[in-house]
Chains A and B, each alone.
Chain A
Amino acid sequence: MAVDDKTLTTEDNRAFEAGLDALEMPALLPRPGPGVVFVRSVLPPLVAVVAFIGLWQLAYSVELKPSYALPSPRDVLQTFSQTVRDGRAVDAISISVSRGALGFVASLAVGTVLGLAMWRSRWLRAALGPFVSGLQSLPSVAWVPAAIIWFGLSDAAIYAVVLLGAVPSIANGLLAGFDQVPPLLDKVGRVLGLSTVGRIRHVLLPAALPGYLAGLKQGWAFSWRSLMAAELITYSPALGIGLGQQLNIGRELNAMDLVIASIVLILLVGVAIELLVFAPLERRILRARGLTIARSR
């Protein structure tokens, strides 16, 4: 029995639905042009750097400290460009960055395996969780004396310190990533009939990626810091001169310009890796998920 006279035809409904879609589609902000990016993101830190150097110059001019303790920006720039010209800077960077990269890759492997094992085994997590979290807050420089006693003044000692610094962050980051996966998504994987491996590969790992990446970022920061601490303390001709060792030479020679130039170099490497490696990776991962923080205005 036909009761309905107001029923829509299929065609009507398709047009109706298409109209709804057009009205309700979330509005996406257009990507800002290069000029806007410059004014918003590049200019402010440049202004801050110029202002900082200005203050420094002022402190130098009024002789806040004797000039051997507080050299002028110009002196530091000269030392800096000298270390660049005679190849010391490049050598130190390549020694430290290759150590840092190798140490980070090793930490990545160990930390990921540890994180996965702790995620799979409730017992292991209960047993190791507090220690891993505790290690995360232990300054890794505390390991340097122990590492030197175990491994002598060698690369092994440096890598031991780097690993102890970075592994806990990476393992914890992976765990946090897994913990934050909404249970509903795993249910979806089961409903679709994915195997256990398929669920890990297609649902859990991609869902955990933002947390894992945050752990990697922190892991890199920790391994870079640990590396500098280790290089600063372990000095031996066999080890070559990394950035930390160059910094220590500056201290021993009482050459504040070399000390500041080395600090700036360490900072620059850290910023460069953040900007060239992690920032683009993070942007890609977050943008794909629609998680980029909405710009205020």
Chain B
Amino acid sequence: MKGLSLGPKVRKSLKRKVLVVVGIIIALVFIFPIIWMAEMSFKTKAQNIALPPLFVFTPTFENYSQAIDKYNFFSFLKNSLIVVVPTVLLSLLVSLPASYGFSRFNFKKKKDIAFWILSLRMAPAMAVILPYFVIGGFLRILDKPIILIVAYLSFNVPFAIWMMRSFFDEIPLEVEEAGMVEGLSRLGVFLRISLPLARGGLAATAILCTIQSYNEFAFALFLTSFNTRTLPTVVTQFQSHMGILWGPMAATSLLATFPIMIAAILVRKSLVSGMSFGMVKGK
């Protein structure tokens, strides 16, 4: 780090220590609620409403066995995956050629079309849910995985096109030209050269699509009711007339979100560029 003041060494090292301490405090503010949720998942019912709140206690695994046996965690996880896996695969299938087209071709109205696609990503969920709800009723597909798979394409496809486009943009043209000289068709270049070179970006795009589909709440709440409930809506059902069942709720939440958080940390470098549709490059 390059210090901003040019004081003596002592002052500089003190300043550095303060910086580290403040950094740790900032980080704690953001992680504490998640750690607290983890603690809740290992507490008994009484410990969870204890006053003052307990920070140190003997953990119990009761909530986890309840989440799995009584509240059918795995059957809801299955519901989530039945929606998420097809929607991510379909999104990539549709978006990959499109993103390559936007990256490598010049054509009329290219920019307008690209920005039109981007604007679709920004539509409010509620404006999509109402027509989907009515049309879904006509087609008798409410509460079936297919309606969520299609609904999630509406935000995944524009997102994946923009994100993958920025990864294809990074591949030098010379590499592709060399392939063409060797007699590969445009499709051959795409499949044999560009796609393998962009595989890191492809993995990041797939993970981000998975995260946003897996976390989605509003569509799932209104377009499904009993048979296709996905995890984000299930966690809200731990409310009884006795109040919220904090322990099982926290255990279910942690089981549901843990894989997502790990995946996000793994692709942290692409996260920033992904979340800004490639507008800001990640570091």
Do these two chains interact?
no
- Footprint of B on A, CB under 8 Å? none
- Footprint of A on B, CB under 8 Å? none
